[in-house]
């Protein structure tokens, strides 16, 4: 098997991040598999040097190793940044465009929220026929109005059908940059990842990427096994978020705290996925 650890350098990592990384690494260790470290740095406006360094510091503190990927911020910049793979992302976008799965959208988040009770996209531009090459146009992938996708679930690889009842996702941003869904799918295909550990909050992304791979006939992705674990709440009961405060693993390290609690959380995540 081959799994991956895919942090985003948009803040200091928290215990939930660390526990998910430990779980992915443990699965690879148990199966005699490999780990890819993929740092998702495509969103350059949010990435910062200190956040990149925090990733390496956190993995060392947790005792996690990996067989493929950068081992320093310098290696990330020189060889492993997602910016080195932009051509692959644009190639996948070209495939989606040629197959007729895209449409242009000029809706801002503010306009989407103004039109409805939620911030979810309402399909406003589906039939407007806007020019994909127009200025500041986002590209969205048209999802079927009624459809399902097959997902292989850890640990047995059991295949279950999931309803694709989701808003049409952005696959190219208004600034012309490929969106997360495209970059993530492209990287998983390129590096031969066959086991993915994710939080339940990313289940919609999994379904979107499975559908994208299906319509483009990238059959290898349909064989990937997914472990979607529960989310770890903070002291206030809310979702953990990246920060420089007491909840960050950086603060834990600086105050001499060991990784034992993170290892225990990883076991909780594994149990939640089995439930």
| Cα–Cα distance measured from residue 153 to residue 166, given in angstroms and rounded to the nearest whole number | 20
CATH of the domain at 38: 3.40.50.620
Which pLDDT tens digit goes with each residue over 172-189? Answer: 999 999 999 999 999 999
pLDDT, tens digit (0-9, with 9 covering 90-100), for 76-126: 999 999 999 999 999 999 999 999 999 999 999 888 888 876 778 999 999
pLDDT of residue 242: 60
Q: How far apart are CA 160 and CA 153, in angstroms?
A: 7
Q: What is the mean pLDDT of the chain?
A: 93
Nearest Cα neighbor of 258 from 12, 20, 63 is: 63
Tens digit of pLDDT for each residue in 66-79?
999 999 999 999 99
Q: Is 245 exposed, middle or buried (0-12, 13-18, 19+ CB in 10 A)?
A: exposed
When computed from its CA atoms, the radius of gyration of the chain, rounded to whole angstroms, is: 19
For residues 65 and 232, the model is more confident at 65
Q: How many domains does the chain fold into?
A: 1
Segment 132-173, tens digit of pLDDT: 999 999 999 999 988 999 999 999 999 999 999 999 999 999
- The more confident residue out of 275 and 269 is 269
Query: What residues make up the domain containing 113?
Result: 2-274
Q: Tell me the sheet residues that pair with 36.
A: 4, 68
Is residue 207 predicted with pLDDT exceeding 80?
Answer: yes
Higher pLDDT, 258 or 235: 258
């Amino acid at each position: 098997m081959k799994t991956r650890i895919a942090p985003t350098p948009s803040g200091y990592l928290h215990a939930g991040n660390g526990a998910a990384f430990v779980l992915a690494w443990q699965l690879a260790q148990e199966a005699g598999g490999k780990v890819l470290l993929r740092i998702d740095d495509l969103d350059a406006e949010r990435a910062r040097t200190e956040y990149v360094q925090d990733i390496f510091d956190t993995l060392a503190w947790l005792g996690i190793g990996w067989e493929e990927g950068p081992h320093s911020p310098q290696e990330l910049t020189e060889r492993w940044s997602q910016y080195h793979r932009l051509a692959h992302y644009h190639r996948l976008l070209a495939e989606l465009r040629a197959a007729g799965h895209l449409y242009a959208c000029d809706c801002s988040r503010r306009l989407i929220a103004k039109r409805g009770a939620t911030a979810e996209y309402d399909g406003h531009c589906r039939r407007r026929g806007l020019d994909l090459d127009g200025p500041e146009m986002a590209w969205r992938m048209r999802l079927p109005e009624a459809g399902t996708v097959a997902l292989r679930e850890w640990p047995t690889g059991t295949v279950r059908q999931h309803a694709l009842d989701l808003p049409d996702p952005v696959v190219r941003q208004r600034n012309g940059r490929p969106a997360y869904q495209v970059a993530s799918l492209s990287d998983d295909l390129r590096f031969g990842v066959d086991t993915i550990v994710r939080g339940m909050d990313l289940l919609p992304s999994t379904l979107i990427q499975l559908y994208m791979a299906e319509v483009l006939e990238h059959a290898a992705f349909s064989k990937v096994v997914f472990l979607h674990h529960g989310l770890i709440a903070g002291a206030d009961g809310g979702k953990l978020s990246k920060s420089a405060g007491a909840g960050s693993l950086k603060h834990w390290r600086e105050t001499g705290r060991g990784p034992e609690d993170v290892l225990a959380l990883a076991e909780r995540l594994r149990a939640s996925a089995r439930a």
